[in-house]
Chains A and B, each alone.
Chain A
Amino acid sequence: ETGVTQSPTHLIKTRGQQVTLRCSSQSGHNTVSWYQQALGQGPQFIFQYYREEENGRGNFPPRFSGLQFPNYSSELNVNALELDDSALYLCASSLEWKGVSSYNEQFFGPGTRLTVL
């Protein structure tokens, strides 16, 4: 158990709909990153939030957006769902990064499995 929780566990949507996925970070962690993992592939970085601001984004369109709240929980929102958005969505929380030579372990939640029909 990493202390990172995600909800819901599974979700089924249809094309064109909107979805909100939620993540509760490990206590004291002020950074959350979101990853998309398509079936049979490795996770791909969507974006990261630090102190409620987006801080780094991967190769994902603007219809993928996020929020981080003062209690460091966060949301991933996806608008105008497409079939290719079907994937496991993982969030990971970590402590504040203090420079290139440092590393803070990212703790992953169990993921939300999104199916778009």
Chain B
Amino acid sequence: SQQGEEDPQALSIQEGENATMNCSYKTSINNLQWYRQNSGRGLVHLILIRSNEREKHSGRLRVTLDTSKKSSSLLITASRAADTASYFCATDGGGLLMIKAAGNKLTFGGGTRVLVKP
């Protein structure tokens, strides 16, 4: 089952515009991450925000986290054609259930497909 719901499911913007996507989740979390996936291939880790953080920046990426609303947003500023991809949020709150775990189980949302037109 999916932990998160992402909104919108698809987004089409012009190069240079900002892209914003949102993620909601259901259970308590340790961390929330955003990944990018090009053309149905492997996932690329973009940014991680811990449950005690509210905002984080990395280059053109800005992530916010509101644990009271169980939601996060990813903002990509000054988008480029190369940003065209699917973006997924993923939570890891399974640590408590995996006593011997080495690396937390990730629960992904359904993704937002972003198209950046040149």
Which A residues lie at the B interface, using CB under 8 A?
Answer: 2, 4, 30-31, 33, 35, 37, 39, 41-45, 48, 50-51, 53, 55-56, 58-59, 88, 90, 92, 94-97, 99-101, 103-111, 113
State whether the Cβ of B107 lies closer than 8 Å to any Cβ in chain A. Answer: yes
B94-116 Cβ-contact flags toward A at 8 Å (1 or 0): 11111011111111111100000
Question: A50: nearest residue on chain B (CB-CB)?
Answer: B102
| A-B pairs under 8 A by CB, number | 105
Question: A30: nearest residue on chain B (CB-CB)?
Answer: B102
Closest beta carbon of chain B to A68's beta carbon, Å: 11
Which B residues lie at the A interface, using CB under 8 A?
Answer: 1-2, 4, 30-31, 35, 40-45, 48, 50, 88, 90, 92, 94-98, 100-111
B96 neighbours in A (Cβ, 8 Å)? 100
Whether B42 lies near A111 (C-beta < 8 A) is: yes
Whether B110 lies near A42 (C-beta < 8 A) is: yes
Whether B42 lies near A42 (C-beta < 8 A) is: no
Whether A55 lies near B102 (C-beta < 8 A) is: yes
The CA-CA distance from A36 to B105 in the complex, in Å, is: 13
Whether B40 lies near A45 (C-beta < 8 A) is: no
Known A-B contacts A48-B98, A56-B97, A110-B42; A94 and B103 likewise in contact (beta carbons under 8 Å): yes
